[in-house]
Structure formats: structure tokens, C-alpha cells
């Protein structure tokens, strides 16, 4: 408050800025980040419809999904640093606006030869908007709530926002029945509500006077982009291709250079010293291997349901609901285990249960019965649910003088990069195995090897429920054989998906081995390192 003297000599009081409204601020952040979580899963349900209408290839559709995850991973740490430098409220608004404008443009994609490039570009800018928005929203919660109520607010922030991932498939199935474009347009009213609540919440403007680590931002984005490009395009370029390995090895080399640079620079983009804590490193490794399966499973299970099981988008959404039922129930158990016994037991049980669940689920895919798979899908979801919150929370608690935002930036970068890698690797496996199996099916029915391989490649790239419509052979004998072979081809696709789901089981198995290395120590409120809170400038 500032005091000034009026004309009569008495003092007049000039009111200062209104205090922040905690409830409105928390609601604003939840509406904002809900879009980022929903968009991780909503597109998977609509994938076959998008492919069918726009004529995208399977690898192209995977890039539409992966561009979002990759941009989110590559720029998350940059978003956190920009929020500190330019102000949390400002970056939350900028990120929300970029996200919603990109969403509208994704929904307005033209039905022509530019469709695939258009979608990939604006899905990437969607991911950039999410990367700018999410860390700023988290920092708003930390800044607005006092220390004695901050833990509860953060639990609500992570719990509700994470639960919104389950809404994606259900909402996507319902909206796709109208038009798949609406899965992007639905973000508009959500963004408007978030922006209005942000204006009404009187969120304080807080900044730090720090330099932006531009070289670090360029290195991490280039390293992640190159490595995922090589993994994603391996099915098209071939594993023996120079371009494939140049991208993979070059990308990993750039990431190594990024780590070396960050350890030397005075104000790094990511404070890698936190990995000196063994427990934090184990938490991050478990999150990495879990996320190789968690986000990619939405895409692969959805496409499997719509291709091999001939399910509608709504039915595919219900199929994924089995997974989310297990995930939601086990998430509650994981939190209780964390509170009573620490993160190590929850991570061990979660990775083990997840590995078993995915392996059993893979074995049932060739039954071609949706309802016979519910128990195994629920087990896989329960495994992920048990470990996700404990691993993330334990990592944040071991922040070593970093802020919540900085450590969350590291864990979110690890999680989203792993999801992008998982989608790329498993997508390559699916395309390769599907092609080989369909070739075998067509050759067994008398189709020569050349036309059989051309048709099989088209089917594996199309990934639709009506692959014979995509063949270049017209109404000739190959098309006739393919129409008669559809049941066998759907089984081929189910068998190819088995490789993907077994791969997810292996990833969780490696996560279990990592969990065994956790020291088992717990972080108490008294021992926890004090969190740095940005000061007003």
C-alpha cells in the first residue's frame, strides 16, 4: 500500500494490487493443462478416420501424434526457463493462445496433398504451446499457494490433470462420430475459460533476471528430433540405411554434447546435477521405460481395435477404458504405498504388474475378442497406475535446491521423450511385421511376390479397416484375393501388434530391474530441500 497526503493534510490510501484468488488460479491452471493431457490421447482414437479421409500413410499418422510429444519434450525445459524470465502468468497466457490457435488450424487442415505436412507442423506448434504453458501453470500454483497449503494444491493439480488423460479416448470416440476435426476444435471453449479465469484470478507477475540458455535449447531440440526421426523412419528407409543410423547416432551424439555443455554453463537450461542423487536417477529411468508403453498404447490399441476387431471409434474408446479402469484404481493404491513405505515398493510392484499385464494382453490379441481382453488390459493399466505418481513425486521431492518447476521440467522431458521414442520404435516394428505377414498370407493364396509385397506395404501404411480400397492394383485378381483374405489380414495385423505389446512388456521388465536399484530411502518434510520461490522484480 502506498500513502499520499490529500489537500486537507490528511492521508489518503492508494490500494495496491488485489491479492490472488487461489481457487480461481488453480481452476485456471487446470483448464489450461487439461488440453495438453487430453491431446496426448484423443488423436489416437480418430487416427483411422483421419487416415481414411486425408489419405495419410501410417508413418505419417504416427508423425502427427509424435510431433506433439516430441515438441513437448524438446521445449518443456525451455518453457520453464522462459516462465521464470518473462513471468509465469504471461507465459501461461502465451502458451494457451499458441495451443488453441494451433488446435483450430489442425481442425482446418485442407483435404489435399499438403494435409500431412499441415497436420504435422501444427501438431508440433501445439506441443510447443503445451511446453510453454505447463511449467508456467505449475509455477503459478507454487507462487499463489502458501507453503502450508501448497502440497495439497499440487496433489490436486497433478491428480486431476493426469486423470484427464482418460477423457481423451472417450471424448475422441464421441466427437469422431460427428467429425474427427472436432477433436481439435473442442480446445477452443476450454482455452477461453482458462484465459478468463486467469484474468480474474489476479495472479502476481513474478520474474527472475536470468539469461536464457539458447545453445542448450537448440542442442536438446536437435538431439531429440534427430534420434526420433531415425527411429520413426527406419521402416521406410530400412535399418541398413545410412540415413537411419546417421539420424539415430547423430541425435544421441548431440544429446551427449548437450549434457556436457549443460554441466559447464553457469545458468543451464536443465540442472543435470540432480542426477547425482541415485534415487532421482532411478525414478527417471523407471519413468522412461514406463512411458515407452503408456502413451503409445493408446495409439496401437485404438488402431488394433478398429482394424482387427472392426470396432467403431466409440467402441475403441470403450476398449481403452479397460486400461484406464485399472490405471485409475491402482493410482490410489500407489499414492498410499508412497505415503506409508516410499516409492520403491510402488515402483517394483507397478513395473512387475505392468510387464505381466502387457505380456498376457499381447497373448490375447489374436483371439479377436474385445471382451476377452479386459482383465489383461486392466492389469497393464494398473501396473502403470501404481508407479507413475510415486516415481514422479519421489523425483520432485529430491530436487536438490531446484524449484518444483525445474525438477518437473526434467521429469516431463524424460516422460515425453520416452513416449515419442516408444511410438517411433513400436510403429516401425508394427509396419515391418505387418508387411511381412500380409506378404505371406497373399503368397499362400497364389499372389506373386512382387504384387503381394506392394499390396502388403500399402496395407501396412494405410492402417484402415478397408485396406483393399487402398491397393494400387484396381479390380484385378490381387484386389479380389485381398477382399477374400480380409479375415486373414486382420489376423496378420493382430499378430503384428503382439510384437508391439510384448515390446511394452519388456520395457516394463527393464523398468523393474531399474526399480530394484532404488535405495529405498524416503524424503520427509523435515529433510526435504527448501524450494526456491521466484522473487518479485
pLDDT single digits (tens) 1-46: 444 444 444 444 444 466 778 889 889 998 998 888 888 778 878 8
Grid coordinates standing for 153?
494444491
pLDDT of residue 13: 41
Query: Quick check: is 189 in a domain?
Result: yes
Are residues 115 and 237 located together in one domain of the fold?
no
Number of domains in the chain: 2
Burial of 17 (0-12, 13-18, 19+ CB in 10 A): exposed
Q: Give, for 12, the enclosing helix (H) or strand (E).
A: strand 11-14
435-465 in b/e form (b: 16+ CB < 10 A) is bebbbebbeeeebeeebbbbbbbbbbbbbbb
- In the chain, the N- to C-terminal Cα span, in Å, equals 17
Are residues 231 and 137 located together in one domain of the fold?
no
Query: Quick check: is 380 in a domain?
Result: no
pLDDT of residue 406: 67
Are residues 141 and 242 located together in one domain of the fold?
no
Are residues 129 and 178 located together in one domain of the fold?
yes
Distance CA(394)–CA(91), nearest Å, equals 27
Q: Give, for 321, the enclosing helix (H) or strand (E).
A: helix 313-341
304-321 in b/e form (b: 16+ CB < 10 A) is bbbbbbebbbbebbbbbb
Query: Quick check: is 248 in a domain?
Result: yes
Are residues 155 and 48 located together in one domain of the fold?
yes
Query: Quick check: is 279 in a domain?
Result: no
Are residues 45 and 192 located together in one domain of the fold?
yes
Contact 424, 228 (CB under 8 A): yes
Query: Quick check: is 350 in a domain?
Result: no
Q: Any idea what the CATH number is for the domain that residue 53 is in?
A: 1.20.1250.20
pLDDT of residue 533: 37
pLDDT < 50: residue spans in the chain: 1-16, 463-476, 478-479, 482, 525-537
Which range marks the domain in which residue 239 is found? 214-266
Are residues 56 and 156 located together in one domain of the fold?
yes
Are residues 102 and 186 located together in one domain of the fold?
yes
| This prediction's pTM | 0.81
Q: Which residues contact 355 (CB under 8 A, 6 or more apart)?
A: 383, 505, 506, 508, 509, 511, 512
Are residues 116 and 230 located together in one domain of the fold?
no
pLDDT of residue 126: 95
The residue among 184, 210, 236 that closes a domain is 210
Distance CA(292)–CA(511), nearest Å, equals 10
| Alpha-carbon distances, residue 12 vs 3, 18, 391 (angstroms) | 6, 18, 54
Contact 303, 361 (CB under 8 A): no
Distance CA(40)–CA(138), nearest Å, equals 18
Burial of 11 (0-12, 13-18, 19+ CB in 10 A): exposed
Query: Quick check: is 442 in a domain?
Result: no
Residue 153's DSSP bridge partners are none
Query: Quick check: is 118 in a domain?
Result: yes
DSSP character at residue 267: S
Are residues 188 and 166 located together in one domain of the fold?
yes
Query: Quick check: is 284 in a domain?
Result: no
Are residues 133 and 245 located together in one domain of the fold?
no
Are residues 233 and 120 located together in one domain of the fold?
no
Amino acid at each position: 500500500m502506498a500513502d499520499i497526503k490529500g489537500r486537507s493534510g490528511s492521508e489518503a490510501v492508494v490500494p495496491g494490487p488485489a491479492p490472488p484468488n487461489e481457487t480461481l488460479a488453480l481452476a485456471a491452471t487446470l483448464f489450461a493443462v487439461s488440453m495438453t493431457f487430453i491431446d496426448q490421447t484423443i488423436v489416437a482414437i480418430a487416427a483411422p478416420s483421419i487416415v481414411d479421409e486425408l489419405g495419410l500413410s501410417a508413418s505419417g499418422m504416427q508423425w502427427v501424434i509424435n510431433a506433439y510429444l516430441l515438441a513437448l519434450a524438446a521445449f518443456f525445459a525451455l518453457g520453464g526457463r522462459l516462465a521464470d524470465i518473462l513471468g509465469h502468468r504471461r507465459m501461461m497466457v502465451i502458451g494457451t493462445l499458441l495451443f488453441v490457435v494451433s488446435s483450430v488450424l489442425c481442425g482446418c487442415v485442407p483435404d489435399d496433398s499438403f494435409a500431412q505436412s499441415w497436420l504435422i507442423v501444427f501438431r508440433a506448434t501445439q506441443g510447443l504451446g503445451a511446453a510453454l504453458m505447463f511449467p508456467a501453470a505449475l509455477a503459478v500454483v507454487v507462487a499463489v499457494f502458501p507453503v502450508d497449503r501448497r502440497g495439497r494444491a499440487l496433489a490436486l493439480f497433478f491428480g486431476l490433470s493426469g486423470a484427464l488423460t482418460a477423457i481423451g479416448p472417450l471424448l475422441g470416440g464421441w466427437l469422431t462420430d460427428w467429425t474427427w476435426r472436432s477433436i481439435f476444435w473442442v480446445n477452443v471453449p476450454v482455452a477461453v475459460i482458462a484465459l478468463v479465469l486467469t484474468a480474474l484470478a489476479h495472479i502476481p507477475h513474478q520474474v527472475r533476471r536470468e539469461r536464457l540458455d539458447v545453445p542448450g535449447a537448440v542442442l536438446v531440440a536437435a538431439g531429440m528430433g534427430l534420434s526420433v526421426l531415425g527411429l520413426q523412419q527406419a521402416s521406410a528407409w530400412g535399418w541398413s540405411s545410412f540415413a537411419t543410423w546417421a539420424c539415430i547416432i547423430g541425435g544421441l551424439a548431440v544429446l551427449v554434447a548437450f549434457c556436457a555443455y549443460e554441466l559447464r554453463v553457469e545458468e543451464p537450461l536443465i540442472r543435470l546435477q540432480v542426477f547425482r542423487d541415485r534415487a532421482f536417477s532411478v525414478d527417471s529411468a523407471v519413468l522412461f521405460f514406463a512411458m515407452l508403453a503408456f502413451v503409445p498404447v493408446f495409439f496401437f490399441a485404438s488402431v488394433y481395435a478398429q482394424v482387427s476387431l472392426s470396432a467403431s471409434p466409440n467402441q475403441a474408446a470403450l476398449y481403452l477404458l479397460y486400461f484406464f479402469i485399472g490405471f485409475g484404481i491402482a493410482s490410489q493404491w500407489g499414492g498410499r504405498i508412497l505415503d506409508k513405505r516410499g516409492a520403491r515398493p510402488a515402483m517394483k510392484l507397478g513395473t512387475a504388474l505392468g510387464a505381466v499385464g502387457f505380456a498376457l494382453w499381447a497373448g490375447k490379441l489374436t483371439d479377436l475378442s474385445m471382451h476377452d481382453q479386459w482383465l489383461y488390459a486392466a492389469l497393464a493399466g494398473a501396473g502403470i497406475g501404481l508407479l507413475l505418481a510415486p516415481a514422479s513425486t519421489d523425483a520432485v521431492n529430491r530436487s536438490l535446491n531446484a524449484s518444483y518447476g525445474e525438477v518437473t521440467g526434467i521429469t516431463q522431458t524424460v516422460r515425453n521423450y520416452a513416449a515419442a521414442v516408444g511410438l517411433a520404435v513400436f510403429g516401425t516394428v508394427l509396419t515391418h511385421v505387418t508387411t511381412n505377414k500380409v506378404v505371406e498370407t497373399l503368397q499362400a493364396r497364389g499372389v506373386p511376390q512382387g504384387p503381394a509385397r506392394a499390396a502388403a506395404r500399402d496395407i501396412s501404411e494405410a492402417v484402415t479397416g478397408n485396406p483393399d480400397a487402398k491397393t494400387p492394383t484396381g479390380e484385378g485378381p490381387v484386389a479380389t484375393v485381398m477382399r477374400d483374405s480380409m479375415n486373414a489380414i486382420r489376423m496378420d495385423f493382430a499378430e503384428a501388434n503382439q510384437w508391439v505389446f510384448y515390446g511394452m512388456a519388456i520395457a516394463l521388465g527393464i523398468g523393474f530391474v531399474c526399480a530394484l536399484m532404488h535405495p529405498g530411502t524416503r524424503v520427509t518434510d523435515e529433510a526435504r530441500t527448501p524450494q526456491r520461490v521466484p522473487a518479485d522484480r
